[in-house]
Amino acid sequence: MNEQAFINGRGWPVVARPRGVEDAVILQAAARVMGRVGPSGLTLAAVAREVGLVPGTLVQRFGSKHGLLLALADRSAEEAGELAVRARTAHPSALGALAALASQTLAGMDTPESFAHHLAFLCTDLTDPQLYERALAVHRSQWRAIEGLLAEAAQAGELRAGTDVAALAGTVQAITAGAGLTWAVERRGSLAERLRHELDTVLRPHLPTRTRPRREPEES
């Protein structure tokens, strides 16, 4: 989920952006501020302070509030595939990488308040045609990354033969978002624990028999 919003930067002087502060650093700072303050508290000045810049620097680089929104959305779409590659490199199994990728999708949303703030930004994205186009691109990129890991898992025998990995990818994507919302409402345990529980539940029927957790016999 990586939603974006900034206030309009009109009225601030335009100054040169210091060397060494890359666009990616600014966008990451924006995501952090988003999670802390939500749509009503997010300002261009707050994002600038997060990275030690002045607001006019952001205006010069991105042009406007909307330009910043689009830049962060475009970066989120690019990151979906990159995150999958990094997760796969760090884990010996494709399913292990999938769990890491799902967790990374909800990074920065590990309190009910931060989850609510990011959800509010997503609602904003859905009402703006250009932002919606990007939100859909992010959604599709994430699905492709999930489907790729599931396909690799199937080829390696981590999933049962004949598993419909395309359909399963959609289910995994749905429970990732749903787990966050349910956890934010119920507030039991951590988001990471809830997400892993839901992911294991979805994957369990598709695991080879030898890898399924054994149930303890019920007492009579």
Whether 113 is in a domain gets the answer: yes
Residue 175, domain extent: 72-208
Residue 175 covered by a domain: yes
The sign of the torsion formed by the CA atoms of 141, 147, 152, 153 equals positive
Task: Give just the sign of the alpha carbon dihedral 149, 150, 152, 153.
Answer: positive
The answer to whether 74 touches 62, Cβ cutoff 8 Å, is no
Residue 22 lies in a domain: no
User: Which residue, among 191, 199, 136, has the nearest Cα to 173 in the 3D structure?
Assistant: 199
pLDDT, tens digit, for every residue of 197-209?
A: 999 999 999 999 8
Determine, yes or no, domain membership for 59.
no
Tell which wins on pLDDT, 215 or 150: 150
Instruction: Confirm whether 44 is domain-assigned.
Output: no
How many residues are recorded in the chain?
220
User: Residue 194 falls within a domain, yes or no?
Assistant: yes
Q: Please report whether residue 15 resides in a domain.
A: no
| pTM (2 d.p.) | 0.81
Is residue 214 pLDDT above 70, yes or no?
Answer: no
Q: Are the CB atoms for 72 and 30 separated by under 8 Å? A: yes
Residue 18's pLDDT band, with cuts at 50, 70 and 90, is very low
CATH number at residue 188: 1.10.357.10
Task: With respect to residue 169, please indicate whether it lies within any of the assigned structural domains.
Answer: yes
> What's the total number of domains in the chain?
1
> How many other CB atoms sit within 10 Å of the CB of residue 43?
16
> How far apart are alpha carbons 181 and 178 in whole angstroms?
5
